[in-house]
């Protein structure tokens, strides 16, 4: 799942996959702005068939936190 | 110490440095710069610019990123009577190339930008520890000299350079501070881009007031943004309506935690739904919620404050100060009675004197009244209301997008004819997004291929969200696209 999530983030933000490390956070690179973040979250929801709970969205700020959330939702 | 009588902005900053040298002016991450440190570094940057051989009136293309060195260099150019050409380093290369071709910068300065044929310099080329910090203003420099050329979206798809004088940029800040009430006690978080009129204007407002500005990359990471508000005791910030949609969606009602702390929020660059205004009023009942109406050419022309205008929240407000006037004129430039729609036109101390290219000035003014291109009316009470837009721009979350620029890019990918219009953002965040109508012809590329091709030609926000194949594009007898028909 780690690889899939990172691949989606890199594709949506149109950046080199090597940029997408566990510790990268929204806002850290120009491409990951607020519009980019919404696109990242909605694409992951569609492609991995998960639905992020509204109350969790605020905390999904790093690549790692998004991967952990997807893992939790697909268990 | 800075001495720059031609620049009211620099005069105010110098006064703050003299009267309150240890006051924090700018915070970027762990770096805290005092007003004394700010003026010293403006002097060092000015000495560097002078060492490059630049002379009064020369243009400096400056990459506007959230770096304190940008602020030093921006103000240093003002000090020397140079002209800043402020650009977003993430702009498509075509846009940068065009701006270079019309401004002929003597120097390109900043990180993440380089241009063929110009001398690029990174901020670290400047000796920020130099002991010498005094740079003299060239003789003859006046407040009427152009300080900045800001590029805005033109209806034809070609960016238009807006010339703003030292007097213009200072007047806009004073008008804005006068309305909002920003003062030396304020601490502002700036998440808006510095390459845009709104974000750069906020920077000038804060520094003229002698307040503190905290630079934040953007709104994407709301945890960071809220941490900054809490830890830096932030009392104000600026945002576009799309940012509020984002904050609301991802953080719910969390901003209400700061209701007793936030003295003001400035909103602008796009229309805001009334229900969003009401929600902000509910969550921040004691905060001045100030929304401006304006353009790069006439920054912050009108203002409204939501709590004070609770019974007419649809209004875009009244002139920002007694130095600003607004009228509604017909196609011949004659005033129309209150309540009758026409073109909103403004004049005042912050209005540009001209565009960079003479051709762009044609039809831009009625005498000294700047034509906004927006339709609306004034009520007998003096409040202005927008009812439509004469210029065919698409407002994507505050970013003005020319449909013509999108159409040209699509045609380059092998589509014979097409047209773009604004449609409501299906996600309810950006306000408007582009929709493309494509003329169906044999051998045309598929939509996925066009989308992929556009990522190389346009910024992400300009790529259409909705697509539709049609047999032909409706046009007038003179060949002009009938966009209203497409909207139906």
Where is B251: in which H helix or E strand? Answer: helix B241-251
B220: chain A residues, CB-CB within 8 Å: 26-27, 32-34, 36-37
Q: Is B269 helix (H, G, I), strand (E, B) or coil?
A: coil
| Overall CATH class of domain B8-376 | alpha beta
Q: What is the mean pLDDT of residues A49-75?
A: 94
Per domain, the residue ranges of chain B are 8-376, 394-487
- Which portions of chain B are predicted below pLDDT 70? 119, 155, 389-391, 478
Calpha distance B208→B14 (Å, rounded): 10
Q: How far is A40 from chain B (nearest CA, A)?
A: 11
Query: Cβ contact (<8 Å) for A38 and B90?
Result: no
Is B225 within 8 Å of B219 (Cβ atoms)?
A: yes
CATH 3.30.200.20 matches B394-487: no
Q: What is the mean pLDDT of residues A38-66?
A: 94
Q: How many domains are there within chain A? A: 1
Quick check: ipTM above 0.85? yes
Instruction: Note the pLDDT of residue B358.
Output: 96
Instruction: Note the pLDDT of residue A1.
Output: 78
DSSP string, B329-342: E-TTS-B--TT--E
The sign of the CA dihedral B335, B338, B343, B347 is positive
Percent of chain A, pLDDT > 90? 80
* Structural domain that includes position A19: 2-73
| Bridge partner residues of B318 (DSSP) | B303
Instruction: Note the pLDDT of residue B148.
Output: 98
Cα-based distances in Å from B119 to B78, B111, B125, B197, B339:
20, 13, 12, 26, 54
Query: Cβ contact (<8 Å) for B460 and A14?
Result: yes
Calpha distance B272→B251 (Å, rounded): 19
* CATH for A22: 1.10.1200.10
Q: How far is B244 from chain A (nearest CA, A)?
A: 11
Instruction: Note the pLDDT of residue B478.
Output: 67
Is B179 within 8 Å of B264 (Cβ atoms)?
A: no
DSSP B264: E
Of the candidates B371, B428, B420, which has an alpha carbon nearest to the alpha carbon of residue B397? Answer: B428
Q: Can you point out the beta strands (E) in B128-287?
A: 146-152, 160-165, 187-190, 212-215, 236-239, 264-267
Q: Which of A14, A25, A34 sits opposite B246 (nearest CB)?
A: A34
Calpha distance B460→A14 (Å, rounded): 9
Instruction: Note the pLDDT of residue B391.
Output: 67
pLDDT tens digits, one per residue of B26-78: 999 999 999 999 999 999 999 999 999 999 999 999 999 999 999 999 999 99
Q: Which of A26, A31, A38 sits opposite B221 (nearest CB)?
A: A26
Instruction: Note the pLDDT of residue B485.
Output: 82
Instruction: Note the pLDDT of residue B119.
Output: 66
Q: How far is A31 from chain B (nearest CA, A)?
A: 9
B221: chain A residues, CB-CB within 8 Å: 25-28, 61
Q: Which of A11, A15, A23, A33 to mutate to test the interface with B (most CBs of B within 10 A)?
A: A33
A69: chain B residues, CB-CB within 8 Å: none
Strand duo B59-63 + B83-87: pairing: parallel
Calpha distance B125→B8 (Å, rounded): 28
Count chain A–chain B contacts defined by CB atoms under 8 A.
58
**Closest chain B CA to residue A61:** B221
**Closest chain B CA to residue A38:** B246
């Amino acid at each position: 799942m780690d690889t899939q999530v990172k691949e989606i983030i890199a594709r949506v933000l149109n950046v080199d996959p090597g940029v997408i490390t566990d510790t990268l956070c929204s806002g850290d690179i120009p491409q990951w702005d607020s519009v980019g973040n919404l696109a990242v979250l909605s694409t992951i929801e569609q492609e991995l068939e998960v639905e992020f709970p509204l109350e969790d969205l605020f905390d999904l700020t790093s690549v790692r936190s998004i991967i952990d959330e997807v893992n939790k939702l697909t268990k | 110490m800075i001495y720059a009588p031609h620049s009211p902005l620099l005069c105010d900053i110098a006064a703050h440095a003299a009267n309150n040298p240890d006051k924090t002016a700018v915070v970027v991450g762990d770096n805290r710069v005092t007003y004394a440190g700010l003026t010293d570094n403006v002097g060092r940057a000015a000495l560097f610019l002078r060492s490059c051989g630049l002379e009064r009136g020369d243009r400096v293309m400056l990459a506007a990123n959230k770096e304190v060195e940008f602020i030093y260099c921006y103000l240093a150019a003002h000090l020397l009577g140079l002209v800043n050409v402020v650009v977003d380093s993430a702009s498509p290369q075509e846009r940068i190339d065009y701006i270079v071709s019309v401004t002929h910068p003597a120097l390109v300065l900043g990180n993440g930008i380089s241009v063929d044929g110009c001398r690029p310099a990174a901020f670290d080329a400047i000796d920020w520890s130099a002991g010498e910090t005094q740079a003299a203003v060239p003789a003859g420099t006046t407040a009427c000299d152009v300080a900045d050329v800001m590029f805005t979206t033109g209806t034809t798809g070609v960016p238009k350079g807006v010339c703003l004088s030292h007097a213009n940029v200072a007047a806009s800040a004073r008008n804005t501070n006068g309305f909002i009430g920003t003062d030396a006690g304020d601490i502002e978080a700036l998440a808006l881009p510095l390459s845009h009129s709104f974000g750069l204007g906020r920077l000038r407002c804060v520094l003229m007031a002698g307040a503190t500005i905290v630079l934040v990359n953007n709104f994407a990471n709301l945890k960071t943004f809220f941490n900054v508000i809490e830890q830096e005791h932030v009392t104000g910030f600026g945002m576009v309506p799309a940012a509020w949609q984002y904050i609301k969606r991802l953080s719910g009602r969390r901003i209400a935690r700061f209701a007793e702390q936030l003295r003001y929020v400035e909103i602008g660059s796009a229309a805001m739904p009334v229900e969003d205004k009401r929600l902000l009023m509910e969550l921040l009942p004691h905060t001045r919620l100030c929304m401006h109406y304006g353009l790069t050419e006439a920054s912050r022309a009108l203002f409204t404050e939501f709590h004070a205008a609770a019974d007419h929240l649809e209004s875009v407000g009244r002139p920002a100060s007694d130095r600003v006037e607004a009228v509604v004129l017909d196609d011949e430039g004659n005033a129309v009675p209150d309540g009758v729609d026409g073109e909103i036109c403004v004049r005042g101390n912050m209005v540009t004197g001209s565009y960079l290219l003479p051709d762009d000035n044609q039809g831009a003014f009625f005498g000294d009244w700047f034509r906004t291109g927006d339709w609306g009316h004034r009520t007998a009470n003096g409040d202005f209301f927008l009812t439509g837009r004469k210029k065919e721009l698409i407002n994507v979350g505050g970013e003005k997008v020319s449909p013509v620029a999108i159409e040209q890019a699509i045609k380059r990918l092998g589509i014979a004819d097409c047209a773009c219009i604004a449609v409501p953002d299906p996600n309810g965040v950006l306000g408007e997004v582009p929709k493309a109508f494509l003329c169906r012809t044999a051998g045309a590329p598929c939509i996925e291929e066009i989308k992929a091709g556009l990522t190389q030609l346009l910024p992400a926000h300009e790529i259409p969200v909705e697509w539709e194949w049609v047999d032909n594009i409706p046009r007038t007898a003179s060949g002009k696209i009938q966009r209203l028909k497409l909207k139906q």
